[in-house]
Structure 1
Amino acid sequence: MIDTRRLRTLQAVADHGTVTAAAAALHLTPSAVSQQLAALEHEVGHRLLTRDGRGVRLTAVGRIMLAHAHEVLAQLERAEAEVAAYTTGTAGEVTVASFSTAISAALAPTLSALRTTAPGLSIRVRDAEGDQGLAMLLDDEADLTIAVEYRGAPGDQRLTRFPLYAEPFDLVMPSDLGGLASVAEEPWIGPHPGNPVHDVITFACEREGFTPSFVHSSDDFRAVVALVGAGAGVALVPRLALRDLDLSHVVVRQVPGPERRVFAAVRRGMEAHPLLKPLIEALQAISGDLT
């Protein structure tokens, strides 16, 4: 009988690429992770991992086991959700990972609404910029995440997604320099590479025939707008991120095309969990009024 805890260990190593990183995500020691993997290999009767530089990679049998691990663990999540539903568990705690703009625009109003509709639901919020929230969800550090789709992002069969909203980007300039194509040679300010918004901005500029030269980097749009106001460059900023900011020293121009698509995600099998279902429904209701 294969121990499901070892399947979770295999998932973590596949996600993080090294035993050390997987151990940190699982809150175990590297030695414990190595022991779990060795035991799993003994149960399966084949090597599952091989050295790859400083990290490891899955063997062919390892990839087969990983695919089955996804299915087995999703089924266990589903079983837990059904048991919770059967026992009408309407009180408990949920951890949500989200980027800051979505916390302000969607999650905070959702929490306010749930105080009336689901008073037994306690929600812990964790700020997670870029794709950190998805990693937290897969590492079981969050029960739900709010994240952004980005170019080239593979679909993950371990997750179930719920579309929330799509918001346009506005061009923010120190003075009125024109449209997007007219600022091709300007210095750019934007999120760090790895943040999905960085990819959205780059793609939008490439469609206009140029690659933006990012001189300054920040994942905090308040800081981005402040730098634009100081004359440090131009930026494309999601419209909701501009709410409640001081825009008196910048020019904001609407531009067609670029937008960020925001979604909520849970681990597959947890969609109907009685603590997650009202949260998802409330998020979708609140998000419907944002655009």
Structure 2
Amino acid sequence: MIDPRRLRVLRALADHGTVTAAAQALYLSPSAVSQQLAALEAEVGHALLERRGRAVRLTATGTVLAGHAAAVAMQLERAEADLAAVSAGVAGEVSITAFSTAITEVVAPMVAWARDRAPQVSFRVKDGEGRFALRLLADGEADVAVAVENRDTLASGEDSLLREPLYAEPFDAVLPPGHPLAGAKEVGIADLARAAWITPWPGNPVHDVVLRACETAGFQPRVECVSDDFRAVCALVAVGAGVALVPRSALSGLGRTGVIVRPVAGAPSRPVFTAIRRGGQGHPLLRFALEGLREKAADLSERSPGTPTDRSTA
């Protein structure tokens, strides 16, 4: 009989690539992971790992069994969902991981929404960007992830996660006072080709969106300042250090005195999605949380009109 707990260890090794990383994900010591894998090899009667010095990799048999481990994990998720569905009422705990703007604009309002409707449900919220958020979800450290769709997140957990579009938000141009385009109703990205730019660090999904938008407009932005903090970005724009493209929801919570915010012609947008582990979609707590996230995302769209001109401050 194969111990499903050992299958979980094998799956973690397949997902993370090393014994040390798998141990960290499972909150075990590397020696404990090695012992569990050795016991699993004894149970199945096949070598599951090839050891090359300090490194290991899965054998063909190990790869096959890791695939079954993912299927077993999915079936266990379904079992928990079915058991929860027959329970009376909606009660329990849901863990959500999301990037900071989504926490501010969607997750936190959803928690307040849920408190009025099901006070027996509690939420744990963890700040997590992109691929890291999906890793927390896959490792069982979160029940729901809210992430931005980009090349990194699209490549993560394609087979084991169930995704659903949540909202897409436009980017607005943030300009310093006295900028020649300050009086325009909207700004063309090509009109900013000669400006200095302020962007997030490479690796941040917003950085990728900004660079693609500039490339589509026919130029490479001259990046003078870099920050992942949109409050800092606006502060730098206010003192004339450059211009920026910022997601609209990130601007809504900032005091923007000293900058001009204008909509962008053909504005790029960032698509945001929710993800849960496959097999858990029937769980009433997850359905409840996703319903709340969808409702608050719809509210966000209503709060973000097509033109932010009337909300700009100089």
Question: Structure 1 length normalisation: TM-score?
Answer: 0.89
1:79 is aligned to 2:52: no
Structure 2 gaps of 5+ residues are 182-186, 302-314
Aligned pairs for 1:120-135 within 5 A? 120-135=120-135
With over 3 angstroms needed to count, the CA separation of the structure-2 counterparts of 1:65 and 1:257, relative to structure 1, is farther
Counterpart selection for 1:278 from 288, 300, 305:
288
Offset, 1:107: 1.2
- Write the distance in 2 (CA, Å) between the matches of 1:41 and 1:203: 48
- Write the distance in 2 (CA, Å) between the matches of 1:171 and 1:25: 40
- Provide the secondary structure at the position in 1 that maps to 2:33: helix
Structure 1 gaps of 5+ residues are none
With over 3 angstroms needed to count, the CA separation of the structure-2 counterparts of 1:93 and 1:225, relative to structure 1, is same
Indicate the residue corresponding to 1:160 in structure 2.
162
Indicate the residue corresponding to 1:150 in structure 2.
150
- Provide the secondary structure at the position in 1 that maps to 2:257: coil
Offset, 1:243: 0.4
- Write the distance in 1 (CA, Å) between the matches of 2:98 and 2:230: 15
How many percent of aligned residue pairs carry the same amino acid?
Answer: 58
Indicate the residue corresponding to 1:140 in structure 2.
140
Indicate the residue corresponding to 1:105 in structure 2.
105
Which letter maps to 1:157?
Answer: D
With over 3 angstroms needed to count, the CA separation of the structure-2 counterparts of 1:130 and 1:219, relative to structure 1, is farther
Per-residue CA deviation, residues 167-224 of structure 1 (Å, 9 max, x unaligned), is 0111223334663223345443333333322222222222223344544433321122
Bigger shift: residues 19-28 or 194-203: 194-203
Contact 2:149 2:272 in 1 (8 A): yes
Question: Structure 2 length normalisation: TM-score?
Answer: 0.83
Indicate the residue corresponding to 1:208 in structure 2.
217
Contact 2:96 2:125 in 1 (8 A): yes
- Provide the secondary structure at the position in 2 that maps to 1:162: strand
- Write the distance in 2 (CA, Å) between the matches of 1:101 and 1:200: 16
Contact 2:172 2:267 in 1 (8 A): no
Q: Give the aligned length.
A: 291
Offset, 1:120: 0.9
- Write the distance in 2 (CA, Å) between the matches of 1:102 and 1:87: 31
Offset, 1:275: 1.6
Indicate the residue corresponding to 1:40 in structure 2.
40
- Write the distance in 1 (CA, Å) between the matches of 2:54 and 2:87: 47
1:288 is aligned to 2:298: yes
Offset, 1:77: 0.6
With over 3 angstroms needed to count, the CA separation of the structure-2 counterparts of 1:16 and 1:230, relative to structure 1, is farther
1:235 is aligned to 2:244: yes
Contact 2:238 2:259 in 1 (8 A): yes
- Write the distance in 2 (CA, Å) between the matches of 1:15 and 1:43: 21
- Write the distance in 2 (CA, Å) between the matches of 1:54 and 1:216: 42
Per-residue CA deviation, residues 148-179 of structure 1 (Å, 9 max, x unaligned), is 11136226211112221110111223334663
Bigger shift: residues 40-49 or 21-30: 40-49
- Provide the secondary structure at the position in 1 that maps to 2:201: coil
- Write the distance in 2 (CA, Å) between the matches of 1:83 and 1:60: 35
Offset, 1:134: 1.1
Offset, 1:17: 2.4
- Write the distance in 1 (CA, Å) between the matches of 2:130 and 2:233: 16
- Write the distance in 2 (CA, Å) between the matches of 1:213 and 1:52: 46
- Provide the secondary structure at the position in 2 that maps to 1:131: helix
- Write the distance in 2 (CA, Å) between the matches of 1:213 and 1:11: 44
